[in-house]
Structure 1
Amino acid sequence: MSSEDKQTEEIVDTPAEEEEEAEGIKDESQNRNGLSKNQLRKLKKRERWLLVKKEKRKHERLKKKKRKAEAVEKGLDVGPSRKALKQNSMKQSKCQMKVVIDCSFDSFMSEKDVMKLVKQLQSCYSLNRRAENPLQLYICGCSGKTQERLDNIGDCSRWDVNFSPEKYSELFDKSSLIYLSSESDNVLDDLQEDKVYVIGGLVDHNHYKGLCHRLAVEASISHAQLPISQYLEMKSRKVLTVNHVFEILLQYTKTKDWSKSLFQVIPERKGVKCLTNENSRDKTEADTNMKADCDKTDKRADSESAKDEEPTQVKS
């Protein structure tokens, strides 16, 4: 079954967010006095963007409703209901693997990059809540623009996520921590439930290359990279977004197979080619069956987030 056939929960504006956008247009329209021509031009451009965004979200919701109706008519799997999703809590999960997203990089990011990071956090939450056995997800060290942006999400406070303003190093024993970084010389061979895996929540477009790895080394925290080179050949750098790293870990707890987990998640735009014959990008029946074995229900959340802006890179 292709990913288009599977219906997933999309990240859409809440009524509060839509009201906030409308108020934003109204407030900006009332504060034109004293602005330069350049500022007025930017203000008008933002007003147009907000109006287009609202219409685009409305259109996407209608498309989602139509796709779901067509899938039901064809007897296809439309994913778990909201009632079923409520049963997929971290507390009831058979998986006790802890994954932390380190959001202490607020000062290193622009407002636009913070928005991208928060979308990736939303995607991680969506992926986790739709998993049969969710990971134990922690979002730590939020402050400044990142925390403000999260607070603007209407239902963020109700997420089944362990939020903490403290740094991850203050919550967990240092000996249990493993910081995931593409610059590390160590390679993960397995995941252990007595370890805590840390993902760097930094969107920086390669401006701070190696920052997460350097901070982990300075703090004497263990570090490792995903075993990408052992299973895949990539034309681009092995730097993935926060949600892609999280999804790979989530997939591995289900499949116990790095090849399947990596191949399933890493975007095709990175020029991925499997080093094993059984996992090629050819549109063969074997490939289709292999992909069907993996949980693809949350691809929609990531793709919808990426529609409004270009793909970004994150230090993992």
Structure 2
Amino acid sequence: MEIFDLFGDDIITEHQNEKNKQLKSEKQQIKNELHRQKVVQKKKEKKKKIKQQKQEIIQTLETQEQKNDFVHQFKGLRNQKKENGMKALQSPFRIIIDCGFEDNMSDKEQRSLARQLSELYTENRKIDVPLKIYVTNIYPILHKYLEQYNYKQWQLVSEERLFTDIEEFQQANIVYLSPDGEEELQEIKEDEVYVIGGLVDRVIIKNATLNRSRQLGVRSAKLPIGQFIKKNYKKCLNVSTAALMISGWLKYKDWSKAFDSIVPQKFKEQEANEQ
């Protein structure tokens, strides 16, 4: 009885903690499954909507020749996306998404990262100057979320390894992009490889990517965007936007024009603030 009095509370507390952990894990599994179903349903709805719009357009066309031409153009657009994907794989301009920030993100933020990578892949197949994309350090949870977007079919390079362990980059000129870097990136060079931290942080983690670059022993630099962003907004971009800024510079050779073409209006410095 005395032993139980001494250790009974600890045993009960430990048992309750284990039970709480199990309940939390089960709730998270249910939440993840609901999210997966939601993503799948959205895909089905989008596919159905495109098919319906296609049929509606065909019905407005008068002749069979017009209908055949439209179907041919429709297939041509799909083929063009595939060709653009192949073009991206051959691009001399390389970017790495370093997904080595698992411990810094919540489950929701990791799902958001997977969505951003999907958006980046989609947009990269549309732009004038596509980038060759490497997604590295893919860990099990992120892999699970990326599978919801069929990422194994993407025309890019995906790796579970850290990019410094990949032979192609061991002698490369690496530039790790960080909003906390002291140096501003002036131009994009073909002989440099640009790394973007695969980090989604709703509450900004100061120096996260800068410390990562120092840990890996690679040069860091920041995109010169501070002068274009409203004062009350953070001076860092999400993963897909940061990558597309690089392509924007390659198109315009001007950071201001790249920023205007890529970044959402809500972040932009208004003319009234500049005067």
TM-score with structure 1 setting the length: 0.62
Identify which of 107, 112, 115 aligns with 2:108.
Answer: 112
2:163 matches 1:168 = yes
1:84 to 80, 85, 91: 80
Q: Show the counterpart of 1:214.
A: 211
Name the structure 2 match of 1:236: 233
Change (3 A) 1:55 1:274: same
Q: Unmatched 5+ residue regions in structure 1? A: 1-33, 278-316
Q: Distance in 2 between matches of 1:233 and 1:54?
A: 36
Instruction: Give the Cα–Cα distance (whole angstroms) in 2 for the partners of residues 54 and 96 of structure 1.
Output: 34
Of 123-132 and 196-205, deviating more is: 123-132
1:190 paired residue number: 187
Q: 126, 131, 139: which one pairs with 1:130?
A: 126
Query: Could you say which structure has the larger radius of gyration?
Result: 2
Cα distance, 1:243–1:79 mapped onto 2, change above 3 Å: farther
Larger RCO: Structure 1 or Structure 2 (Cα < 8 Å, ≥ 6 residues apart)? 1
Q: Quote the offset at 1:84 in angstroms.
A: 1.3
| 1:96 pairs with one of 88, 92, 96 | 92
* Separation in 2, partners of 1:270, 1:55: 31
Q: Which residue of 1 aligns with 2:151?
A: 156
Q: Give 1:162 deviation, angstroms.
A: 0.9
**In 1: Cα distance, 2:34 partner to 2:147 partner:** 25
Of residues 125-134 and 84-93 in structure 1, the stretch that sits farther from structure 2 once superposed is: 84-93
Show the 5 A alignment for 1:26-41: none
1:272 aligns with 2:263: no
Distance 2:200 2:87 in 1: 30
Moved more, 217-226 or 137-146: 217-226
Q: What is the rounded CA distance, in whole Å, between the counterparts of 1:54 and 1:219 in structure 2?
A: 37
Aligned residue runs from structure 1 range 137-152, under 5 A: 137-152=133-148
Distance change in 2, residues 1:56/1:145 (3 Å): closer
Structure ranking higher in helix proportion: 2
Deviation of the 1:136 alpha carbon:
1.1
For 2:111, the aligned partner's letter is: M
User: 1:204-229 CA distances to partner (integer Å, 9 max, x unpaired)?
Assistant: 22253211111212333111111112
SS of aligned partner of 1:227: coil
Residues 40 and 148 in structure 2, CA contact (< 8 A), matched pair in contact too: no
Give the whole-Å Cα distance in 2 for the aligned partners of 1:49 and 1:97. 34
Could you tell me which residue of structure 1 aligns to residue 199 of structure 2? 202
Q: Deviations over 1:112-136 (max 9, x none)?
A: 1111100001011111122344211
CA–CA separation in structure 1 for the residues paired with 2:97 and 2:124: 13
Percent of residue pairs bearing the same amino acid type: 27
Change (3 A) 1:157 1:231: same
Aligned mates of 2:135, 2:177 — CA distance in 1: 15
Q: 2:246 aligns with which of 246, 249, 255?
A: 249
* Cα distance change of structure 1 residues 129 and 145 upon mapping to structure 2, 3 Å threshold: same
Judging changes above 3 Å, is the alpha-carbon distance between structure 1 residues 120 and 92 closer, same or farther for their aligned structure 2 residues?
A: closer
Distance 1:143 1:208 in 2: 20
TM-score normalized by structure 2? 0.71
Alignment root-mean-square deviation, CA? 3.8
Runs of 4+ with >4 A deviation:
45-73, 77-80, 90-94, 230-234
One-letter code aligned to 1:217: R
